[in-house]
Amino acid sequence: MLKINAHRLWDSLMEMAKVAPTEKGGNCRLALSMEDRAGRELFAGWCREAGMSVKVDRIGNLFACRPGLDPEALPVVMGSHLDTQPKGGRFDGIYGVLAGLEVVRRLNDDDIQTQKPLEIAVWTNEEGARFTPAMLGSAVFTGNLELAAGLACSDASGVSVAQALERSGYAGSEPLGRPFDAYFEAHIEQGPILEDNGVPVGVVTGGQAICWLDVQVDGIPAHAGTTPMPLRKDALFGVAQMIAALEQLADDFAPKGLVTVGQLDIARSSRNTIPGKVNFTVDLRHHLDTQIDAMERTAREVLVSIAEQRGLNLTVSRHWFSPATPFDPACIQAVRTAVEGLGYDHQDIVSGAGHDAIHLARHCPTTMVFIPCVGGLSHNEAEMALPDDVAKGADVLLNAVWARAEHIAG
Ligand SMILES: [Zn+2]
C-alpha cells in the first residue's frame, strides 16, 4: 500500500488557511468572493505545477485533470469545496480538495500513471452561506438544479451567481453533467462519533434521509389573570407537550433516529396573554427511508392526539424531504479494501451533514471517506483535525482511487 506525503499535505492545508484568515484561526472565503477566488487560484497553481490542466464549467465548478493511459476511459474524480462559512474552519471541504491534490502529487513522485484519468473537483458554493441553496455547484452539474435557476440565485446584497461568476473570473464554458467513472470525497466528519470511538477513518455508507415539518398550533389568546386554567386553549402548553413527545419519539427510533425542534415562534407574545398561536419546525433524520417514513407518521399521530386532547387546532405540512442516499457498494468496498490493507482502525458511518457527494451519488458511483475533527466541531473557526488523522484519511483515498483508476471494467 502506498502512503501519501503527510508533511506536504499538512503544509498545503496550512498554506491555504493563510488565504482570508479570521481572527480566531479560521477562514472566511464566501463562495465566488475575491477571497474564494484567491483560494482557487492558489489551488489551480499547485495543480498546474503537478502537471494538471484546469478547466471551469458554466456554474464555476473547477476541475483539475490528470490524463490516464486509456484515452477512452472516464475520469475517477476526487474533490470537495474551498468556500467556507463566514467564520469557517480550515478543513471543512478544503481537506477533500487538498487530499485529492496530494494523491496526484504522490503518484507523480513515483511516476505512477493510471489507466483512467484522475480529476479533482472544486464545487461552487457548497456552504450555502452566500447563496442558497447549499451544494449549488454540484446540484447544477448533476442536473438536480436547473442552470438558469442556479445562476439566478442572489446573495443578501442582490448580487446573482451569474454576476459573481463574471466578477470572480469563474464564468467557465465547460459542459455540465459529463459522465464520471466514480467520485470519492474525503471530508472531516463534522460530528463527534469517530473521535468518541477513537477511530481515525470512517467508511461512509451513505447519507441519511431528512424530513422537515412545519407545525402550526392554534388555541385562543386570552387574559392571563382572568381565565381559569380548565377553560384555556393555551397553544404553548400544548406545544410543550408535543416537543416532549417528539424527544420520546427519538428514543423510540434510537440510536439512528434524530429529532430536532430548532425554531419556535409565539405569535404576538406577551407575558400576560395566553399564547394563541405557536409555529415550530421539526427536523427528522434517519439513515433508512422506511424508518424516516415511520418517524414522520408517528410524529404526525402524536401531534394530532395531543392537539385533540387539548382542543387545539393543528396544521402539519412537509417543508422538505430528502430520501436516504446509499453510496455505491463497489466504491465503498474500494475504501474498505484500502483501509484494511493499510491496517488502520475504521468503522462504517452514515453522513449526518449534506455534501456534494450526495448530489454526485445520483450521477455516478460515489462514496466518501471521513476523518475525525476535534470535539466534533465544524462551521467554527476553531475547527481542527489532527495531522495523523489527516494523513490516514488521505492514505485511504489514495489507495481506493488508485485501485479504481486501474480497474478498467469499473
Ligand atoms: Zn464541507
Distance 244 CA to ligand 1 centre (A): 32
Reading the block at residue 40, the C-alpha cell is: 482557487
Q: What is the pLDDT of residue 407?
A: 78
Q: How far is CA 33 from CA 100, 155, 161, in A?
A: 23, 11, 11
Q: Which amino acid is at 331?
A: C
Distance 13 CA to ligand 1 centre (A): 15
Q: What is the pLDDT along the chain (410 residues), one digit of tens a residue?
A: 999 999 999 999 999 999 999 999 999 999 999 999 999 999 999 999 999 999 999 999 999 999 999 989 999 999 999 999 999 999 999 999 999 999 999 999 999 999 999 999 999 999 999 999 999 999 999 999 999 999 999 999 999 999 999 999 999 999 999 999 999 999 999 999 999 999 999 999 999 999 999 999 999 999 999 999 999 999 999 999 999 999 999 999 999 999 999 999 999 999 999 999 999 999 999 999 999 999 999 999 999 999 999 999 999 999 989 899 999 999 999 999 999 999 999 999 999 999 999 999 999 999 999 999 999 999 999 999 999 999 999 999 999 999 999 975 44
Distance CA 367, CA 203 (A): 9
Distance 187 CA to ligand 1 centre (A): 7
Distance 121 CA to ligand 1 centre (A): 13
Distance 28 CA to ligand 1 centre (A): 14
Report whether CATH 3.30.70.360 matches the domain 209-322.
Answer: yes
Which residue's C-alpha cell is 387539548?
A: 310
User: Which helix (H) or strand (E) element contains residue 164?
Assistant: helix 161-168
Domain residue spans of the chain: 6-207+325-406, 209-322
Q: What is the pLDDT of residue 410?
A: 41
Q: Do residues 290 and 297 touch, judged by C-beta distance below 8 A?
A: no
Q: Do residues 20 and 360 touch, judged by C-beta distance below 8 A?
A: no
Distance 88 CA to ligand 1 centre (A): 10
Distance 71 CA to ligand 1 centre (A): 32
Please tell me the class of the 6-207+325-406 domain.
alpha beta
Distance 145 CA to ligand 1 centre (A): 19
pTM above 0.95, yes or no: no
Distance 218 CA to ligand 1 centre (A): 39
Say what angle helices 34-49 and 6-16 make with each other, to 10 degrees: 150
Distance 356 CA to ligand 1 centre (A): 8
Distance CA 63, CA 57 (A): 8
